Structure 1
Amino acid sequence: MPPPSGHVIRLVLPLLVALGCVLAPAGPAGASPRPAGPAWTAVPASDGTAPDDARPSFYLEGLPGSVLQDRLSILNPGTEPVTVRLRGADAYNTEDGGFAVRGAHGSTGTGAWLRTARTEVTVPARTRADVPVSFTVPEDALPGDHPGAVVAESGGRAVGVRVQLRVGGPTLAALTAEDVTVSRGAVHYTLVNRGNAVLVPRLAVEADGVFGPLLRRGARTLPVELLPGQRVRLSEPWRDAPALDAVTVRLRVTAAGGAHAEAAASALFVPWPAAAAGAAALLAAVAGGGYVLRRRVRRRKDPDPDGPGRDPGPDPRQHSDERHLVKAGAES
């Protein structure tokens, strides 16, 4: 039997391709990749299994020279193993009052006192790994709160587990309110923790104008944990501030432990666009009135200063000729 010619192959090949497309299973073309499993987490270890047994942070207390111990749990609910790196870090407040931790080489307090049994741990899928954590408090550590965190990092993701460590000894709750300024939409102020205890401030605001009270806002808890030695810049909204008034604003800040601070500021509210437009109109009116007044005074002195009846005044040349004639007569 002679081999099939190229013409027959060209006819059969498209049929085979079409048949293959029909019989082949449909693939996930254009479909999004399978979503990743739940992310790993790091929390203080708990002996119980109930959700109420979970601890939001480490809380430890001891005297200078003591060694405090606890455990960190790393939970991996995913389907692949995960390797996590561990380190300690000091905590600080961001400018607007947020909670943040130092970098890998910026800690001198709790982050430097913290040690984990392993600096790197691999957690199998659907498994929990507990890592012992210890805090060695130096002999010369100052009393009071020393906030920090245990930082777990893996695959570009970092989780910070807060540490509330208190060194035994006298504690002082003290704060100040500074740099109060008033704008049309808010009252801005700075809080500074002058003591050695973490503070959760409460703020009350009052404002009085020329004609009486403008604002009475009772004490409320601010969403800020002010760490020892830290300062934060905050704002209190004031949407209905007056359009025209001279205002005095007073702040009262309190916190547990007897911390108390007061501060005040004055402000002048003026509708500047309207005031500028009014000033421009007044200047224009004054300039126009001055011009009209000058014209009237000039007309009273000289009804027609440029007309033909104007007296040109004595001609200096005529006086010169008269003097010349007088002199000539005297010589004759």
Structure 2
Amino acid sequence: MPFRTRAAVGAAVLATATAVLCPAPAVARPAAPGWSAAPAPGGGARPGAQDRPYFYLEGAPGTVLSDRLSLANPSGRTVTVRLRGSGTGSWLRLAAPEVRVPARTRAAVPFTVTVPRGAAPGSRSGAIVASSGGTTGPRDRVPVHLRVTGPTLSALTVESVSVRASGDGAVIRYALVNRGNTVLRPRVAVRADGVLGEVLRRPARSLPGGLRPGRRVERTEKWPDAPGLDAVKVAVTATAEGGAYGSATAGYTAIPWGAAAAAAAVAAALAVGGRVFLLRKRRARRAGGAERGAGDRPGAARTGAPERELAGTGAGTGTGSESAPGSGARA
């Protein structure tokens, strides 16, 4: 009994599903009694024990890759299977979104993966999801692994490092950014140095999950034993495969509230005292300048000289008067 597929793209479908009447293979992976989904064997052969458990496709940006999905129905009734791609977005196109598989029949459904021209080299993962019987019915998932070929670049940066007091300790915040075109698995180390030496050292450790190209992840680390009175420099360093390296620093000054208030009071007192000293010194300079200006005026010098001359003239006249009788005696 032949079967028919309802193609979503009509006559423009890249390829049509094929059906082969045969008993269900022993190596099929049934998602539930009645049918199973798996990569189709090459060359139209029947599934066997050495069949691949997933799809693996490889190509450069701008290429179109194709393969086939096998749907096996060993039961005695027709099964309608719905298909969709996940993980690869608009890259994957199935020849038909829904396939009717008759009893004791195997159907091969073609699909294509179009690699965008601007795709970055590296690995991608997705799947073809097959289901029947509504949202609660049987479901099977066939993995699709795609590798985009081309030159790779591993680049990683550490950004926005900050340290803030929190309770009796502090909190270190930073961001990791993948600036390359490959998935990275960063390892992060944190170190802090104070006035008297090292106060924190956390060796490099791997972060959970991978960091995809162009992604930015914000992270927070607690520092419960942060110093209570010190000026420290915190350095965050990240490394990853391919020689990726990034580092950034931030300063942190921890001062208790009491010490801060005392320091503020001392600073205010010093500021007021310095201002008073400067005002007094400025007034003294002004007063000294005024006295020197009065003594150096030209009119005062001329007035004093005639007084001294007149005093000398008076002394001479008195002496001359006393000698007049003597002159008269001689006469």
TM-score normalised by length of structure 2: 0.49
Query: Larger Rg: 1 or 2?
Result: 2
